[in-house]
Structure 1
Amino acid sequence: MTQRASAIGRERGRWSAHEISLDDAEDLDGLADFMHDISAELVIAFIEEDDEYLGIVRIDGDTSDPRVFLSDHRVLFTSALADRLFAGALPPAGSTNIDDESDDLLAGATPAGDIDLLADVGTDADALLELITEKGLLPADVIFAISERAGCADILDEIGN
């Protein structure tokens, strides 16, 4: 299985990019501990596995709890990594804050979590849903689009996303 994790951190208006090793993150709290070391202001981590799904974790400030989004809730049943990192932080399958108008857009995917977690960095809930459901886009493409909207695609690209 191919897994990849990276993060963008913002401090005093400047972005930095970081590779993340998930080997030492036993759960979401372990990942959050590493993220807190990246920046005291804002950190957004992207987790992808086998081009099957995208997990996004956001932390604001030194003490905030992680906000989580998962592009397809079904991977909690097929991926040990997704289960380890996201299962305890997401609502049960089928309960999400996605409105009824978006149901047609999803066509089989069952996103879960906080779809508004990137709104203030250029990707609102509607744009995030469009990105994860656009045919042919891989998780890496979605990550690039999100970082481009945030104004840090060039920095994230330097570490190989």
Structure 2
Amino acid sequence: MSYFCAVIGRTGSRWRALDVDVDDVESLDELAEHLRSTGHAGPVLAVVEHEELWFALIRVDGDDDPRAFVSDFEASQTGHYATLLAPVGEVELEEYLDLRNPSAATTAQSDLGDDEDDDDADQDGHELDEDPLMAEAEADLAAAAIEVEPPPPWVGDPGVLEDFGVDPADLVDLVLESPNDPGSVVADLGERCGFDELLEALR
């Protein structure tokens, strides 16, 4: 299985290839410095793809911290870019909690709704009878559902291409729908963002 790496920069509505060698880069911060060193005024995106296993998107915008997304973190930790991509596994963004852990977000919303119902009942001066055993059983079932559900394979920032037309939820859906075909997901992203032909030329 082989790797494909490309670094591209956006100027206005167009993308162009940038001459950056990422093969010997050892850390995410070092890669970010390499991307910034191109002197490109617009966003710079590194696309790394490991055939049939995973892909990663690493983006820098000027001096801002790098943003990254990895389609399958566990798979990415068994190859050449494991150390470089390791920090992406520690990224937790609150705004994407519902994408990262849908069950937890649903449970939290349900709990909030229950609290609001309780408040309404208190304001009306009525107390609702609730079977404590039933409530405990429901809580145990909800906790078990969250506990046994495996985490999704992706990590990082799913909004990394949002300003180019790829909604975070769409990016996650594409990854989950084609877990064994990262190349097709990258091609789809390229078509949506306008860099598909450039990537094909660089392959």
TM-score range normalised by the length of the shorter chain = 0.7 to 0.9
Deviates more, 1:119-128 or 1:21-30: 21-30
Q: Gaps (5+ residues) in structure 1?
A: none
Instruction: Provide, for residues 112-154 of structure 1, a one-character-per-residue CA deviation record: whole Å limited to 9, x for no partner.
Output: 1111111111111111011112237622211111111112222
| CA RMSD of superposed structures (Å) | 2.7
Q: Does 1:29 align with 2:72?
A: no
Secondary structure at the residue paired with 2:90?
coil
* 1:150–1:141 Cα change, 3 Å: same
Q: Greater RCO between the two (CA within 8 Å, min separation 6)?
A: 2
| Alignment: residue pair count | 154
For 1:154 and 1:6, the matched residues in 2 are separated by: 13
* 1:102–1:39 Cα change, 3 Å: farther
Q: How does 1:4-23 map to 2 (within 5 A)?
A: 4-18=4-18, 21-23=21-23
More strand by share: 1
* 1:126–1:33 Cα change, 3 Å: same
Q: How does 1:2-151 map to 2 (within 5 A)?
A: 2-18=2-18, 21-36=21-36, 37=38, 39-61=40-62, 63-81=63-81, 83-91=82-90, 97-99=96-98, 100-101=101-102, 109-135=152-178, 138-151=181-194
Amino acid at match of 1:88: P
Percent sequence identity is: 31
For 1:52 and 1:77, the matched residues in 2 are separated by: 11
For 1:148 and 1:98, the matched residues in 2 are separated by: 27
1:50 Cα deviation (Å)?
A: 3.5
TM value normalised by structure 2: 0.65
The counterpart of 2:199, out of the listed 151, 156, 160, is 156
* 1:107–1:17 Cα change, 3 Å: farther
For 1:144 and 1:45, the matched residues in 2 are separated by: 14
Amino acid at match of 1:87: A
1:73 Cα deviation (Å)?
A: 2.1
* 1:154–1:50 Cα change, 3 Å: closer
Secondary structure at the residue paired with 2:187?
helix
- Which contiguous aligned blocks of 4+ residues in structure 1 show a shift greater than 6 angstroms? none
For 2:19 and 2:186, the matched residues in 1 are separated by: 13
TM value normalised by structure 1: 0.79
Secondary structure at the residue paired with 1:56?
strand
Secondary structure at the residue paired with 1:41?
coil
* 1:51–1:108 Cα change, 3 Å: farther
1:42 Cα deviation (Å)?
A: 0.4
Secondary structure at the residue paired with 1:4?
strand
Q: Gaps (5+ residues) in structure 2?
A: 105-148
More helix by share: 2
* 1:68–1:90 Cα contact (<8 Å) kept: no
